[in-house]
Amino acid sequence: MADLTPDKKSPGLHVAAEPIYRSHDDSARWWKTTATTPTGSYTCGTCGESETARGTDKVRDLVDDYTANHGPAHRRK
């Protein structure tokens, strides 16, 4: 698999969390759990700032930060 980590040549946001695969008739398959700890990273293509996070809450905060302050937010200013 290709390395999807954002960098200055390929800026953006990347979040990964390996799902737990279950049988289609297993009602527990709809749980919001993952097999591995979620990770995330971004590199802003405008200002060059980079950040990484590990864990559900920290990745959620990372996405909120990127959305509010980087990436598309730079185009709105």
Q: Is 54 within the bounds of a domain?
A: yes
Total domains in the fold of the chain: 1
pLDDT along the chain (77 residues), means of 10: 75 83 63 75 91 93 92 69
Q: Is 20 within the bounds of a domain?
A: no
Q: What residues make up the domain containing 73?
A: 37-77
Q: Is 17 within the bounds of a domain?
A: no
Alpha helices in the chain (DSSP H): 56-69, 72-76
Strand partners, 51: 42
Q: Record the pTM.
A: 0.73
Q: Is 1 within the bounds of a domain?
A: no
Q: Is 61 within the bounds of a domain?
A: yes
pLDDT at 1 (0 to 100): 46
pLDDT at 76 (0 to 100): 62
